[in-house]
Structure 1
Amino acid sequence: MNDITVYTTNTCPYCTMLKNFLDDKGIAYKEVNVQQDPIEAQKLVDTTGQMGVPQSNVNGQWVLGFDPNSIMSHLK
């Protein structure tokens, strides 16, 4: 079972592309909208040092941006 969390905002086109990619592949994920959750947004910055979205945590590995190849490489 894969553990995937995707950090997004409302206005990010790459976030939508990433979610569509995962949906198309039938890969389950949890979405955290950092625009609506400032506490999670701060935790994300503290953890990764990155402000940008999308960021994905795939089985404990961080992937920055819309990077399907990296995401697939971390799947079980």
Structure 2
Amino acid sequence: MADVTIYSSDFCPFCHRAKALLSSKGVDFKELNVDGNPELRAEMMHKAQQRTVPQIWIGQSHVGGCDDLYALERTGQLDPMLARAG
């Protein structure tokens, strides 16, 4: 199974879209919810150099956010990336 981590928020529609795409592919992912957790949000910001959620890693590769994940899907790069991380 692919090693996927997603920093997310319950109130973020882009987080829900990203998780839905991963779930539709049968991908189990580790979700780190930053709501009410400033330490975890700070960790995400340090690792991703981004403030917004979601922030997604596949294996050791930082994918970025929801739009980036869907761009990988549109270009046919997501499935191979998930396979390599598995």
TM-score higher than 0.5: yes
Matched length: 76
Normalising by structure 2, what TM-score?
A: 0.77
RMSD: 1.7
In 1, Cα distance between the equivalents of 2:29 and 2:36?
Answer: 18
Cα distance between partner residues in 2 of 1:36 and 1:3: 25
- Counterpart-to-counterpart distance in 2, 1:15 and 1:62: 15
Amino acid at match of 1:52: T
Structure ID, larger Rg: 2
Task: Provide the C-alpha distance between the structure 2 equivalents of 1:12 and 1:4, rounded to a whole number of angstroms.
Answer: 19
**Partner in structure 2 of residue 28 of structure 1:** 28
Output the CA distance in 2 between the equivalents of 1:65 and 1:46: 15
Aligned counterpart, 2:82: 75
Percent identity at matched positions? 30
Normalised TM-score (structure 1): 0.86
Residue in 1 aligned with 2:40? 40
CA contact (8 A) 2:6 2:54 kept: yes
CA distance in 1, matches of 2:37, 2:48: 17
Provide structure 2 residue ranges, at least 5 long, that are not aligned to the other structure.
none
